[in-house]
Amino acid sequence: MTESAGKKALVLFSGGQDSTVCLAWALARFAEVETVGFDYGQSHAIELACRDKVRAGLAALDPVWAARLGADHMIGLPELGRISETALTRDVAIEMGENGLPTTFVPGRNLIFFTYAAALGYRRGAHVLVGGMCETDYSGYPDCRADTIKALEAAISLGMAKPFTLETPLMWIDKAATWALAAELGGKALVDLIVEETHSCYRGDRTHRYDWGYGCGACPACELRARGHAAYVAGA
């Protein structure tokens, strides 16, 4: 029995590769695990459509995980899409912006996600929040940095007068190691589930199938996923 076995976790779950590995990671550790997704008008909303299949797939992998997997929550944040000028929510090219950040950057997104998750977790008795933020081969998003998450953890704990823990199991590993972590947590069956049912492509393309899954094959999210998978296969 691990230290965290009695705790309840809430996983920020989009239906993408990273958050699916985070969900498996949480299911392996916590007695109760709930999920929350955010709809902010992202053009790759197909990711959200994958969520139910992935949750069902994870439950089918392991009876212990099935027993631990609890409610799913969906939070609509249309205002975030409305106020953001980004390639994920507008018809803007995916490229490097003048600020040195990709146009896929949605300012403040992870700050908002975690704050909403904390408000939900407060009500649900889930004080461990899990997210797939990663500083290792990220796109330079400042709200994915460990320092940002640490500061947010302190702000949320203070602001809610309740100690919250923000867990980011992918923070210091690259995409190849994320595939390897999936294999470690759930074997080939979990790797296969991620390939078949998760979605990461910014363009929402599910018409092209590669050995690493579905996507356009050309956007930054597809490139990152494909490169990580190739490195994982080469090293496995």
What kind and span of H or E run contains 129? strand 128-130
- Rg (C-alpha) for the chain, rounded Å, is 17
Q: Which residues contact 218 (CB under 8 A, 6 or more apart)?
A: none
Residue 224 in the binding site for Zn ion (CB under 5 A)? no
Among 170, 190, 195, 201, binds Zn ion (CB under 5 A): 201
Binding-site size for Zn ion (CB under 5 A) equals: 6
Q: Is 169 in the site for Zn ion (CB under 5 A)?
A: no
Q: In terms of C-beta distances under 8 Å and separation of at least 24 residues, what long-range contacts does 191-194 make, across chains too?
A: 193/20, 193/54, 193/57, 193/58, 193/61, 194/17, 194/20, 194/21
Which of these segments, 95-103, 131-139, 150-158, 207-215, binds Zn ion (CB under 5 A)?
A: 207-215
DSSP per-residue string spanning 178-209: HHHHHHHHHHHHHHHHHHHH----TT---S-E
Binding segment for Zn ion (CB under 5 A), chosen from 66-74, 142-150, 161-169, 195-203, is: 195-203
Closer to Zn ion by CB, 169 or 215: give it. Answer: 215
Please choose, out of 90-98, 139-147, 153-161, 197-205, the segment that lies near Zn ion by the rule CB under 5 A. 197-205
The least CB distance from residue 229 to Zn ion, in Å, is 13
What one-character-per-residue DSSP string does 84-101 give?
A: ---TTTSS---SB-TTSS
Measured N-to-C along each axis, helices 109-124 and 146-160 cross at an angle, to the nearest 10 degrees, of 40
Could you tell me which stretch among 37-45, 148-156, 164-172, 214-222 binds Zn ion (CB under 5 A)?
214-222
Nearer to Zn ion, 26 or 87 (CB): 87
**Cα 186–Cα 129–Cα 170 angle in degrees, nearest 5:** 50
CB of residue 202 to Zn ion, shortest distance in Å? 5
In whole angstroms, how close is the CB of 179 to Zn ion at the nearest point? Answer: 17
Report the residue from 109, 222, 225, 232 that binds Zn ion according to the rule CB under 5 A.
222
Coil, strand, or helix at residue 220?
Answer: helix
Q: Does 215 interact with Zn ion (rule: CB under 5 A)?
A: yes
> Please, are residues 72 and 37 in contact by the beta-carbon 8 Å criterion?
yes
Q: Which of 27, 133, 219, 226 binds Zn ion (CB under 5 A)?
A: 219
- Contacts with Zn ion, residue ranges (CB under 5 A): 201, 203, 215-216, 219, 222
